[in-house]
Chain A
Amino acid sequence: MNKKVKTNFNLKHWLPFYLMFAPGFLYLLINNYIPLYGMQLAFKSFSYKKGIAGSRWIGLKNFKFLFATSDAFIMIRNTLLYNLLWIFVGMVFGVTVAILFNEIRNKAAKQFYQTAILLPYLMSMVVVAYLVYAYLAGDTGLINNAIVKGLMGKKDGIKWYSDPKYWPFILTFVQQWKQIGFGMLLYLASLLGIDTSFYEAAMLDGASKWQQIRYITLPLLKPTILMLVILSLGQIFRSDFGLFYQVPMNQGSLYSTTQTIDTYVYRALLENNNVGMSAAASFLQSIVGFIFIMAANKIVRHFDENSSLF
């Protein structure tokens, strides 16, 4: 049957499908494929007047300039370290909260908790930046006024927005605060898939709740955990632009702990008009990111065909 269709290609039958595919094809062409042509800018001295094709080739100069600055090291270090930390922290919190949430029997309470902890995930990073500002603003922030000056009795507040040393903690907190609801849902899906008869049998044998979690839940969650961790490792060269750009309020003095590849690329491109170095960093991110994603997928496929991206 399949063979017959292939040998007698029936254009009249299939044409409508190709037409239906056309809009999507066109969109991906514009949004994803034509930009690939623009990647040559990493090796060119770009001028808006001359356009992509007309700009002069300059070989690896953009990369040389980029790596001559300390920015290159800082942004790559920050991107990798934050990702590694958050993959780990997010996994631990996600699993813990999902297990606890799953213990709750009261439906109304469950509904309320889920609604509440998903709320931050619904908000844009701009709004999150406002919320964080209400707590951390140097002169009017709640933490400085109520806690640092109030409870701790210090005369001056802490200058949160100009001292980079606080930001690894602040960003981690904000990131987890925003993501935890989503992280919980990720693991909840597979928790709900666990056969309840395992637990019933364990309880008949007198296993405590902790023993059930330790010897039933966690081992059965392990494949999901592994999959999600590996897939996030594939994204390790990318960062959440909004989080790193909005939440520290675009403060230059914080760059040593808040600059990532994505914020650097944006700033060099649109704030400092340094298209060359920006293009070089962006190019590097694309290529290395691709390698990481392919590797992660390959590993995931090795464990479980259905969980890989393709």
Chain B
Amino acid sequence: MVSRDQKNWQIAAHIVMIILAALAILPFILLVVASFTQEDVALKYGYSYFPKAFSLEAYKYIGQNASTFVRAYGMTIIVTLFGTVGAIVLTALTGYVLSKRNLPGVKVMNLYVIFTMLFNGGLVATYISYVTIFHIKNTVFALIVPALLMNAFNIMLVRNYFEHSIPEEIYESARIDGASEMTIFFKLVLPLSVPILATIGLMSGIAYWNDWQNALYYIDDKQLYTIQAVLNSINASISALASLGGTSAGVSAANLPSTTIRMAVAVVGILPILCIYPFFQKYFAAGLMAGSVKG
């Protein structure tokens, strides 16, 4: 039995959610439509949901410069792959050790990790130490190591999972069977913690895929640009597209159908993630929730 009052609330809720959903989706539709708009139409009437003429010229241009985008996607995939695997292994190891409450010195080790959540040296100190001590500039490590590889929040998440979800008896029985601690970790602990590690993997994977800041700080060499770095440099200046290399050497920036290319490039940049998003959205939401409710 649903009362009238309840029904009104339901309707109100649906209306608000529909508006929010539309607000979230519509900009992406405009982006796609704009990228298929004919250049002179876009110039004359601006970007529109209902352009007067469609064209593939922007995508043709991207096709001619495919090598730039293929290379950038290659970089993004390499960085995301190594970064995510590295993040999972590092976080799992560290979180597991910290879950051993009677390990001598574990309190200090916890503090060592937690302090990094509270105090941050800031961009200048971090940048200068990475550049002058570790000489990371214009290397692929600059895209993987700084900031993204491991963070204290995820370590705490894993630590709490190990503490609450894996009973101590399991370790004990394995030890009695003569398994070494490494064997226990790889053969027993990791398989049992697939859910939390998958969550951390997903969130790290998204962070690496989306990252443009490390490239902004540490990469000048265009050969090392990820897809986000390419998007960023084109955003900064549309002529960057011509200077990115590929077959465009003869094309001057002035001849570019730049108004629509800009949008087509963005579409190429987000299409893969847009296509698979509906399939991992459930895990994405679960991952966000896991991070939000600590412990």
Residues of A within 8 A of B (CB): 2, 5-6, 9, 14, 16-18, 20-21, 23-25, 27-28, 30-39, 41-42, 46, 48, 51-52, 97, 100-101, 103-105, 109, 112-127, 129-135, 137, 139-142, 144-146, 177, 180-182, 185-186, 188-190, 208-209, 241-242, 246, 249-250, 262, 265-266, 269-270, 275, 278-279, 282-283, 285-286, 289-290, 293-294, 297, 306-307, 309-310
Cα separation A116 to B34 with both chains bound (whole Å): 21
Cα separation A286 to B180 with both chains bound (whole Å): 43
Q: Is the CB of A124 within 8 A of B210?
A: yes
Cα separation A293 to B89 with both chains bound (whole Å): 29
Q: Is the CB of B47 within 8 A of A140?
A: yes
Cα separation A77 to B278 with both chains bound (whole Å): 40
Complex interface residues of chain B between 195 and 221 (CB less than 8 A to chain A): 206, 210-213, 216-217
Chain B min CB distance to A305 (Å): 10
Instruction: Flag whether B127 is at the interface (Cβ < 8 A).
Output: yes
Which partner residue on chain A sits nearest B10 by CB separation?
A103
Q: Is the CB of B121 within 8 A of A135?
A: no
Q: Is the CB of B270 within 8 A of A116?
A: no
Chain A residue numbers with a CB within 8 Å of B134 are 30
Of A46, A118, A146, which is within 8 A of B285 by CB? A118
Inter-chain pairs besides A113-B20, A119-B28, A134-B30, 20 sampled, C-beta below 8 Å:
A16-B180, A35-B125, A101-B13, A113-B18, A116-B25, A118-B281, A118-B284, A127-B266, A127-B270, A130-B31, A131-B28, A146-B48, A246-B235, A269-B127, A279-B125, A282-B124, A282-B125, A309-B117, A309-B294, A310-B114
Chain B min CB distance to A280 (Å): 9
> How many pairs of A and B residues are in contact by the CB < 8 Å rule?
290
Chain B min CB distance to A297 (Å): 8
The 5 lowest CB-CB distance pairs between A and B, nearest first, are A24-B94, A145-B46, A38-B125, A35-B121, A282-B122
Complex interface residues of chain B between 48 and 107 (CB less than 8 A to chain A): 48-49, 89-91, 93-94, 96-98, 100, 102-104
Known pairs A30-B145, A114-B281; A146 contacts B102 (CB<8 A): no
Cα separation A309 to B118 with both chains bound (whole Å): 9
Max chain B C-beta neighbours (<10 A), residue from A6, A42, A127, A208: A127
Max chain A C-beta neighbours (<10 A), residue from B122, B182, B213, B263: B122
Chain B min CB distance to A243 (Å): 12
Cα separation A278 to B122 with both chains bound (whole Å): 10
Chain B residue numbers with a CB within 8 Å of A186 are 292
Cα separation A109 to B20 with both chains bound (whole Å): 13
Instruction: Flag whether B253 is at the interface (Cβ < 8 A).
Output: no
Chain A residue numbers with a CB within 8 Å of B212 are 124-126, 242
Known pairs A17-B100, A34-B133; A25 contacts B273 (CB<8 A): no
Chain A residue numbers with a CB within 8 Å of B262 are 130, 133
Cα separation A33 to B126 with both chains bound (whole Å): 9
Q: Is the CB of B124 within 8 A of A275?
A: yes
Q: Is the CB of A38 within 8 A of B228?
A: no
Chain B residue numbers with a CB within 8 Å of A18 are 97
Indicate the size class of the contact surface on chain B: 35 or more
Chain A residue numbers with a CB within 8 Å of B277 are 115, 119, 122
Chain A min CB distance to B144 (Å): 11
Chain B residue numbers with a CB within 8 Å of A137 are 46-47
Chain A residue numbers with a CB within 8 Å of B210 are 122-124
Cα separation A265 to B65 with both chains bound (whole Å): 35
Chain B residue numbers with a CB within 8 Å of A116 are 20-21, 24-25
Max chain A C-beta neighbours (<10 A), residue from B93, B113, B125, B293: B125
Of A2, A35, A41, A188, which is within 8 A of B102 by CB? A2
Chain A residue numbers with a CB within 8 Å of B273 are 122
Max chain A C-beta neighbours (<10 A), residue from B27, B181, B213: B27
Instruction: Flag whether B247 is at the interface (Cβ < 8 A).
Output: no
Q: Is the CB of A189 within 8 A of B293?
A: yes
Q: Mark B183-205, 1 if CB is under 8 A from A, else 0.
A: 00100000000000000000000
Cα separation A124 to B289 with both chains bound (whole Å): 19
Instruction: Flag whether B116 is at the interface (Cβ < 8 A).
Output: yes
Q: Is the CB of A104 within 8 A of B228?
A: no
Which partner residue on chain B sits nearest A37 by CB separation?
B129
Q: Is the CB of A185 within 8 A of B281?
A: no
Which partner residue on chain A sits nearest B46 by CB separation?
A145
Known pairs A145-B48, A189-B292, A293-B118; A100 contacts B16 (CB<8 A): yes
Chain A min CB distance to B14 (Å): 7
Of B17, B30, B116, B146, which is within 8 A of A142 by CB? B30
Chain A residue numbers with a CB within 8 Å of B180 are 16
Chain A min CB distance to B159 (Å): 11
Chain A residue numbers with a CB within 8 Å of B8 are 209
Instruction: Flag whether B236 is at the interface (Cβ < 8 A).
Output: yes
Q: Is the CB of B5 within 8 A of A209?
A: yes
Of A118, A122, A250, A282, which is within 8 A of B236 by CB? A250
Instruction: Flag whether B251 is at the interface (Cβ < 8 A).
Output: no
Q: Is the CB of B128 within 8 A of A140?
A: no
Instruction: Flag whether B138 is at the interface (Cβ < 8 A).
Output: no
Query: What are 6 A-B contacts with C-beta separation under 8 Å?
Result: A101-B17, A113-B18, A114-B281, A116-B20, A185-B292, A282-B123
Chain A min CB distance to B204 (Å): 13
